[in-house]
Amino acid sequence: MNLNDKFFLRLIWIVTAVVLVVVVVLKIVPPPTVKPSFIYLLPHIIGGINAVCAVLLILSLIFIKRKNIQAHKITNVITFVLSAFFLVFYILFHLYEKDTRYGDIDHNGVLSAAELAAVGASRMIYFVILITHIMLAVVVLPLILISFLRGFSMQIERHRKIVRWAYPVWLYVAVTGVIVYLMISPYYNF
């Protein structure tokens, strides 16, 4: 590992820590009272970005299996940029809107016995998917950044080693992001 790698690895861990702190702070800080009108479009855009990223990740795998390295690189860069937009939109949305409660049919922020009965076991399924999605989203950020560092610096063997872990986790996070969006969207209060 050279000096340049050490610098970028430190930067990767700093970026990961900052993102994690920002997301945690968003859960604690109350939202501003005035909300921009576009804020309610963001969950739909975020869900769409996750769907596109999932498709692009599958295409990226196909390209590399076919030894089309250029298409693989381009696809991964596009996926990376879309994921960066996802992160910005996610932070922006959660700055203004706090978490939506799964099953809150009347949008009052409280789950009644009738609402809980109406969603039944799907609420538990939702939380299993959501919790694994969140935990792996935290893990995947540094994996993605390190795999990009190694790929672009042409450390092919080291890139392959980390991608064995990064790719399935990233794909899982993208796919479950779409599932979470589809499951929670009926309960948005807008």
pLDDT tens-place string over residues 67-113? 999 999 999 999 999 999 999 999 999 999 888 889 998 888 888 99
pLDDT value of position 1 = 58
Q: Is the pLDDT of residue 45 over 90?
A: yes
Averaged over 124-136, what is the pLDDT?
A: 96
Distance of CA 186 to the CA centre of its chain: 20
C-alpha span between 99 and 27 (Å, rounded): 8
Which two three-digit tokens encode residue 41?
């479009």
pLDDT value of position 172 = 98
Averaged over 133-149, what is the pLDDT?
A: 93
**Contacts (Cβ under 8 Å, ≥6 apart) of 103:** 111, 115, 116, 118, 119, 123, 187
Q: Is the pLDDT of residue 136 over 90?
A: yes
Q: Is the pLDDT of residue 189 over 80?
A: no
pTM here is: 0.88
